[in-house]
Homo-oligomer: A and B are copies of this chain.
């Protein structure tokens, strides 16, 4: 069977609400409107207004409320219409949620999921296109997940909801409508993926491509192209930004000796930067070429379609970088 990421997320929420009546969802338009992106479709009808609650447009207020309810022992799912708006509430995510278990010497636990679309969508310009993976991923106390496929969407979402700690769950608007074939196993109501474990989406021997979310698909497409030219790329889907599965990454690079890290967000202090640093630290002597990264351009997101396209990684960018690290093509600086 085939399923979209949207359906994957929706079914995961549905099943976990059925599984544990401590689970509830709050956020803007999650109820009567069925979700701005329809991820919560049908849940209000099924679980009622006590468990699916539309909030005012007050991110700090409802996020704090969610964290407080988690302190108390409930299992809130807080939807941000997009993660851009979570900046209004980020103090609660970091200071109230991530740090409380630690500060209280283990007394408080904070079983909460913060979820919503993250990063670039299409044509929504600078204020609505930021990727927050690196920010949240830097904070001890948080677990930060980013699904690519339906398998990820279901397995990670269900794991996030059952997890006793705060989880930041970074979806991608453009991926919501993507379909994937799913196995029976993935559809099982007890299908959970381990938090902190990356997935090798494709095995290869010449170069390791590391990415997450939408960029995994780009890497897979790049790998197909590269195969035609005789380059065998291993594609790692991080799934978890924090904890970062350094073991899987390093193991792969030790095999391929080459690394290209890919992300859609800004480069400085990004996930790709961390991947490169981690590999350099741990597997320096295995590297046959300088690791590279393909990232969002280091600019706020422009609206115009032509500029927007240049502002995020494209498959040819990945292919070009791979060829460089494989010494297949001499890099040529493009005038700009």
List A residues at the B interface (Cβ < 8 Å).
60, 84, 87-88, 90-91, 94-95, 98-99, 102-103, 125-127, 130, 134-135, 137-141, 242, 244, 265-266, 268-274, 276-278, 280-282, 284-285, 287, 289-293, 298-300, 302
Contact = CB atoms under 8 A, between A and B. Distances in A.
B268 A137 contact: yes
Contacts of A88: 60, 91
A287 B266 CA distance: 26
B277 A130 contact: no
B127 A103 contact: yes
Given A284-B289, A289-B284, A269 B269 contact: yes
Contact of A271 (B269, B292, B299): B269
A103 B273 contact: no
Q: What copy number does this chain have within its complex?
A: 2
B274 A280 contact: no
Given A103-B125, A135-B138, A138-B134, A272 B277 contact: yes
B300 A291 contact: no
B87 A95 contact: yes
Contacts of A276: 276-277, 280-281
